[in-house]
Every structure is written in C-alpha cells, then in structure tokens.
Structure 1
Amino acid sequence: MGSVQETTVGTNEGLFYQSAHLALNPIVSSTSGNYLVLENGQRILDSTGGAAVSAIGHGNKRVINAIITQLNKVAYAHPGYFINTPALELADLLVKSTGGKLARALYNPGSEAVEAAMKLARQYHIESSPKSERVRFIARRGSWHGCTLGTLSLGDYKPRKQLFQPMLNNNVSHVSPCHPYRELREGEDTASYVARLAKELDDEFLRLGPDTVCAFVVEPMVGTALGCVAPLPGYLRAMKEVCTRHGALLIFDEVMCGLGRTGSFHTWEQEDVVPDIQTVGKGLAAGYGTISALLIHEKVISGLKGGSASFQHGQTYQCHPLNAVAALEVQRIIQEENLVTNARKMGHYLGQLLMERFLDHPNVGDVRGRGLFWCVEFVADKATKAHMDPNLNIARRMRLRGLEKGYDVCLFSATGCADGWNGDHFLLAPALNITMSDIEEIVYRAGRVVDSVFAELLDI
C-alpha cells in the first residue's frame, strides 16, 4: 500500500475555495475585537465583519466558553430523534424578539435558509389547498439570495448566476427593486415611485396568473448586489398589500441585514410590516457558528396543522447544539449590552462621516445605508451616473489596497450595482459594539484607500 503524503500547514496547495490557482489570500493567525492579525504580524481593521457576519467582534470569551461548555455536554444528536436545550432557548429568544408577531423558528446549518423558505411556502399552499397550482416565485432584480441552485434561480446576482443559467429553475421572475438612486425618475416623488413599483408587482402577478404564485421574496435592505439599498417609506407595506390581495406569501430575506445590523433587531420593524416568513443568518451566531433560521408566521404554521402538520424538510446538522449555543450566547450579548441601540446611534455617526469624506469625491456617485450597513458607490460621471470602466477593477483594487501594509483595513468589495454586471462599490458593516473612535479610524483608513487607488489610476 502507498503511504499518504503529508503536507506542510500553510503551503496553500490543498485548499480549493474559488480560484483554481494556489490559494493566495493572506493567512489569518489570530483575531481580537475588531482586528484580524495576519501571519506576517499585520493587524487588519475589520470594517466589514466578513460579509456582515461578525456582529460582536472577534474572540469573545463569553461565546467561546459557552461553546466549550456545550461541547463537554452534547456535541451532536440527530435532530429528527432528539432536541437540545440551546436550540429550544434560541427559538424562544428569536420568537420573543418579534413581539410575538412571528410564531416559530426553524434552523438551517448555514446558507440554506432561503431555500427552506421557498419549500415551506410551496408546502403551505399545498396543505391549505391540495390542488394548488402555486409553484412560482417573484423576486427582484439586483437581489442576492444564496448560491444553491434554487436560490440562484431566485436571485439576480448575474456574475454568480450566468454560468449555471441552463440548470436553474424556470419558475422565478423578477421585478424592479426599490432603488431611488438609480431608478427614481426625474420629477417623480416618493409616493408616485412606490405606487409605480406596486403596480409593476401587481401586473406581474396578473401576467403569471395570481393563483400560480407562492411568494414574493424581498431583501428589506439589499446587501451585496446593489449595496445597502434601504426601502423607501411605504414600499414594504405596498408590496405586502399586493401579495395579500393575490393570496401569496411575503418572504423577507434578512440573512445579511437582520438582527440589529440596520438599527432595529429586524429590519421590517422600521416599517412595521410583518412577513409571513423571514430568514436570518449571518449575524445569528456572528461567525462563532454556522447557522441560519426561518421565523414563521402563525398563519403558515396553522396551514401546516390543517394538513399533514409536518414540514417535508430536514437536515443532518439542522439543530446542531454547538451552533445553537453559539447563536444563543451571541444574541444574549446583543440584548444585554443594548447593541441594537448602539448600532442605530453609531450608524448615524458612520453615515455622517462617510458623507463628509466621500460625497465630494469626483468618482463617488452615492453614499447610502442605515444602521451599521453602509455602501460607497463609484461612478465615472456623477451627473449621468455612468459606471466605471469594468476593466479598471475598481472594487477589487480597493479591497486589495486595503490589505496592503500601511492601509490595513478590510473592505467588502462588490460589483454589479449599476446594471447587474457593471458598477463598483464597497460595503462597510462593522461590529454592533463599535465605538466612535473605531468608526473614525474606519473612515480614515477607507479614505486613504480610495485616494490611493484613484491617484494610481491617474498615473496609468
């Protein structure tokens, strides 16, 4: 028999993440608070929490100790046969956080929350009316709902979707997002714009056949694809009214924007528009575990009870006790330390500093956000809002420059905010326990990155 060849830790020869070339990303050797320490000793200020994940910062001893304690009790038991205390307590905490407006919590082991929501919406309609023809979903252009085949079909993040288009579901259509920076017409006021979007959604229901639509799926505040686009007042309510009129469910995808990120625990609370199903994820265990969840309205639960009373969905790691206890401790910290209030307060300050620093820049088209969820979008022309030349790779340049010594800041770079393919922006999503001095440092470092990249372009 042949022997297994040992590899040296850190050679980056075995890992395949995205690039087929050897992994070239810098190695993180330790983390603490708002900083990532690289193998070379460089300290990177984490202004993004990864992808809006690290809601309470890195290395929190309380969460780590809770995980260790649980590990010494129960590491795993199949959720189809057994349940564990952290899973029960976390569900109660999440339901209570809605003020009782949503009734149950269902877990997923990571990124499958939206996929599970789609399945639940379909089964709800079947249980309520066994001959239901509701198999279609309506979502929005410029949305990102996940990278499974079902959620790729639902979303509209073109760079990730195009290659797999022949494999994707054909039961999804898309309407316009609520994106005033790019789509509010000249002379159109907010009320007229919202009414136009409501009519567009209503027309899509009629085009498809209202009795064929399961649900309308919305990121209440769009994350990666468009860059921190918040809903206009009255928009979410108008969308819900259309869904209710046609008997479809309303699903809010708050995987990225939920759990305090936008200055309220649930983004929908700011408009008091309660969904039928809500997804949460990234900030749930804040990077200390891999867990997402659905929060489900009693209407949907009652629909199941009227039929089989059993959701035909289950996953091996669905109620994993280590994930559940990590999320439970994170959420307790967020509540006990009033971090949602801090996110709202510090978010105002972050927005103010970003606008002061960037709005006058000749290549900054928009600075937008809410709470601790902000975006800076770059344009070639401020008047026409024309996007930057994609060959310049502005967003990628920003991210890589930030990781260089002397800049030392992590920026969440993305593209496609202009037309799905083109348009450069970066997101900022720091921890909810951020301080004013931390915010000042983030804006200072981000400003140096932007100045450096555009100065370099002038020399090309």
Structure 2
Amino acid sequence: MGVFYKWGAGRNPDHPEIVDAYDSTLVTADGTEILDAAAGAAVVNLGHSLEGVGDVMAAQADRVGYVSTSHFSTPSVESVAEKLAAMTPGSLNHAFFVDSGSEAVESAIKLARAYHVARGEPTREAVIGRWNAYHGATLGALAASGNTGRRTVYDPLLRDWPKIGPAYPYRWGHEGTPEEQAVAAARELEQLVRREGPETVAAFVAEPVGGASIPATRPHPAYYREVRRICSEYGLLFIADEVMVGFGRTGEPFACEGLGVVPDLMALGKGLSAGYAPISATMASDRVVETLEANDHPFQHGHTYSGNPVSTVVADHVLDRYTEDLFAAVRRRGRRLETALEPLTESPIVGELRRVGLQVGIEFVADRETRAPFDPDVGVARRVYDDALANGVYTYPGGGSVDGQAGDHLMLSPPFVVDDDAIEAIADAVVSAVNRVADAEGRRTV
C-alpha cells in the first residue's frame, strides 16, 4: 500500500519508527525490538547491518557517485554483470540494470517485444500472465499481472493481455497425480496460445515459486517443464520473475534451478543488493541479445539511475555473500521453521501450510473440508498480522489469492541469518496469533 509523507503532519501512528536494525531485528525509537520475519518485503536476505556495506558505499560515493551508463561504464557494473552471468542458469549471460523489480519485469516485456520485431514478427505483442500473480507496479508489469486488487483502479490504462489460472495446487481441480495435475494446468497456456494465435503472443511471464500474492506455491516440476516446451514450440519467450524468490530464498541460487528449466529472460531484484541500495536486473539469454545485434536493432530503453556506481558496488559486495554454505543454511532453517509451525496444520482456520526454502505460506480458510475462504471483510490475515506485531514479530499479510478479493494468507520470509532462537520466537508469535483469531471466530484452537 502506498504511503504519502507530508511535512509538518507528524509521524503516521500506524507505522512504528525504526531507528536501528541488526541481523533479524528492527529497533523502534522507543527501544522496542521487533523480529523481522519477512525480511522487509523478502528483501533483506543477508540481515540488517551487513558488515562492510557502508564502507564500500561511502568509498564509491567519494570517488564516482554517478555516470550515465548510456555512455560510460564503471568497474562495479562490469563486475556485477560478470557475477550474475556466472550465477544464473543456462545462457542468461547478459545483464540489463534498472532500479526496481517492477522495472526489471517491464524491461523483460520490452525486450521480448524488441526480440520479435527484430526477427520479423511484429504482430507478437501480447504477454500472457496468470491470475492472482503480481509482477510490479509499472503499467506494463501490472498489465501482465493478475492481481485484481492492485489492477482494478488502473484497468483503463492497461493492455488487456490474456491470463491463465494460477499455479496453485491446493486449489486445482485437475485429476490424477501431482505430475498429471501439473501438466494439465500448464496446458492451459497451450490452449490459450492456440486460441489467441501464436503469431500475436510475445511471451509468458511467471514466478517459478509464488511470491506475495500466493506465497510459497510450487507445483510439481512437470508444470514448468511443460511451460518451457510450450514456449519453445510456439515461439514465445519465457520470462521468469525471480524478483522475490531469487538469490537463495528457495534454498537454490534461483528457483528455476530447482525446477529444471531455463527461461529466456529472468527478472531479478530485492536480494541483488539485499535491501542496501535500489538495483535490479533483467538477465537475457544469448539468443535474445544476439538476435537484436544481428538485426541491428538496439534496445531503446533505460532509466536515469540504471547501473549507477553506488548501487552496483553494493550489489558487487552482496553477491559475494551468496555461497552454497548459505543456501544450505537456508534449507536447514526453513525446515526448522516449518517444524516449529507444525501446530498450525491442526488449526481450524489454516487450510495449508506450505514451504519452499526459507519462505512459508499460511493459507487461512473458513472451512477446512471445502477450502472455502473467509469473507474478506473478516480481515483474518490482517488480524493475525496485528496480533503477531503486538507480540514483537513482523510478518507479511495478504489477500485475494482465491478470486482476487477473498483468500487470506500470511507469508514468512525471514533473513537468511535468522538464528534458532528467533525462529522459535517467530513460530510462537504466529501460532499464538492464529489461535487468538480462531478463538475470536468461535473456532477450536490448537
């Protein structure tokens, strides 16, 4: 939700004022400590007050604070691009830097369009997304999103691009094994492409693991293998939005790697600087970039602060901290958090507790048998959030996952450095909060 600040209006009483932070802890102006169980917005992967960031940022600002990357380069932007090419899977060897996740998705959309124009297929312009997905606040990224709560006001400004259903196994109606259900769900994309006409479709965009809209949803890997086949067969580019789940959140460097697929374009952000500077990137495959170059079709796109020296030197420092040892710790701490939250599996208002790496999604339901969601006016997710925050734990609530309006959930995505004591404290606060909300709704608690 957007927040306005006005001179002389005083502090918003609903927003605790944070004056300090360390590891997984936020400190308010009155000295209250709050456990950050969401890493801000799944951003602060490496914890608050990461050693060395201030030093490299200050040193860079003292030397070169800004150059236009349309005309100049810097050592740090070259280094970050090289490291990203080495980290990302397949032939995603080309980095285009921007400033936010929304801009990274927007850049991917424009790259997909430019690629098809360069290769002589100018009728390909549609970007197929999924309902209940969120890819960013800019108009192109929002048009590809299916999060109706964020779209509705701006619908008249958005391209009417087609959508398929979400990758949401808990609510799929497909028959068969998890693999058969996954293939059936993915084939919705093929049916839609054939109906629209492949010659009109430029790309398909998806989060390989669900983010804030439907947190921690991950179908059987057959889903994305089928998506990859369909995109290749019909000439679409596959855009993987890893803004939230990239850089180890799933226990792998990138979520696509755990699914065994390589996209044509990948949007990255958040963890790229771990929250210490605004920077994001769109990774493009050799095929996409070489097609533009071979056809003398420059990519006409950019932003003033794209690839600026201060942000890139921070990202360069941060990327060195992403190691296999850290990813192993993410997997271990994720398992521990899931175990600590296990009482929720018996809660009368929890339909599903799901986890991927160190990301947990808790879905609230009014009826566990039918999986019926709560009326949005009941505000279950917000009430659980408020209760946990009152007890010193900040979480990430959400809604609309079922039909755009109904569908309450809570996401937990703490910093990767969260220790065992903090994990237990997070779980205790969340379980207690769910119990109190269930009691208030007249339900049996766990």
Q: Does 1:429 align with 2:420?
A: no
1:352 Cα deviation (Å)? 2.6
1:138 is aligned, of 123, 128, 131, to 128
Does the 8 A contact of 1:178 with 1:232 survive in 2? no
How many Å apart are 1:402 and its aligned residue? 2.1
Normalising by structure 1, we get a TM-score of 0.91
- Give the CA deviation at 1:457: 3.9
Q: Determine which of 316, 321, 338 is the counterpart of 1:351.
A: 338
* Alpha-carbon contact 1:136-1:214 (below 8 Å) kept: yes
Aligned-partner Cα distance in 1 for 2:432–2:304: 46
Which of 350, 353, 359 is matched with 1:364 structurally? 350
How far off its partner does 1:206 sit?
0.9
Match of 1:15 in 2: none
Q: Are the equivalent residues in 2 in contact too, given 1:141–1:174 (CA < 8 A)?
A: yes
Per-residue deviation at 1:256? Answer: 0.7
The one-letter code sitting in structure 2 at the alignment partner of 1:245 is E
CA shift at 1:434, angstroms?
2.3
Summarize the alignment of residues 9-158 of structure 1 with structure 2, pairs less than 5 Å apart. 11-12=10-11, 24-98=14-88, 101-110=91-100, 111-129=102-120, 131-158=121-148
* Separation of aligned partners in 2, 1:100 and 1:150: 26
> What residue identity is the alignment partner of 2:27?
V
Corresponding residue for residue 279 of structure 1:
267
CA shift at 1:28, angstroms? Answer: 0.8
What is the letter of the counterpart of residue 440 of structure 1? Answer: E
Instruction: Give the letter for the 2:109 counterpart.
Output: M
- Aligned-residue Cα RMSD (Å) equals 1.7
Alignment of 1:168-187 (within 5 A): 168-170=158-160, 172-185=161-174, 187=175
SS at match of 1:289: coil
Unaligned 5+ runs, structure 1: 1-5, 13-21
1:413 paired with 2:404, answer no
After superposing the two structures, state which structure 1 stretch, 102-111 or 239-248, moved more: 102-111
CA displacement 1:318-359 (0-9 Å, x = unmatched) = 011111111111111122x821121122222222322x2210
2:152 matched residue in structure 1: 162
1:366 Cα shift?
0.3
SS of the aligned residue for 2:322 comes to helix
The superposition leaves residues 49-93 of structure 1 with CA deviations (integer Å, 9 ceiling, x where unpaired) of 111000011011312211111111111111112111111111111
C-alpha distance in structure 2 between counterparts of 1:385 and 1:233, whole Å = 24
Q: Which amino acid aligns with 1:436?
A: D
| Change over 3 Å in CA distance of 1:194–1:453 after alignment to 2 | closer
TM-superposed CA distance for 1:411, in Å, is 0.8
Deviation, structure 1 residue 428: 0.5
Kindly indicate whether residue 198 of structure 2 is the aligned counterpart of residue 199 of structure 1.
no
Report the counterpart of residue 17 of structure 1 in structure 2: none
Paired AA for residue 10 in structure 2: T
Contact 1:227 1:417 in 2 (8 A): no
User: Aligned letter for 1:11?
Assistant: G
Match of 1:396 among 362, 368, 382: 382
Report if the CA contact (8 A) 2:25-2:35 is conserved. yes
Name which of structure 1's ranges 315-324 and 435-444 shifts more when overlaid on structure 2: 435-444
Q: Is the 8 A contact 2:376 2:407 kept in 1?
A: yes
Q: Which residue of 2 aligns with 1:338?
A: 325
Corresponding residue for 1:246? 234
Q: Name the CA distance, whole Å, in 1 between partners of 2:184 and 2:401.
A: 21
Distance across 2 between alignment mates of 1:191 and 1:457:
37
SS in 2 for 1:37: strand
Counterpart residue number, 2:3: none
Q: State the AA in 2 paired with 1:431.
A: P
Q: Distance in 2 between matches of 1:345 and 1:79?
A: 40
SS of aligned partner of 1:380? coil
Unaligned runs of 5+ in 2: 1-5
Distance, in Å, in 1 between the alignment partners of 2:155 and 2:322 is 40
Which of 190, 197, 201 is 1:213 aligned to?
Answer: 201
Q: Are the counterparts in 1 of residues 89 and 257 from structure 2 also a CA contact under 8 Å? A: no
Map of 1:3 onto structure 2: none
Q: Give 1:425 shift.
A: 0.7
TM-score by length of 2: 0.94
Q: Deviations over 1:19-73 (max 9, x none)?
A: xxx5631111111111111112210000101110000110113122111111111
Instruction: Determine the C-alpha separation between the residues in 2 that align with 1:207 and 1:418.
Output: 25
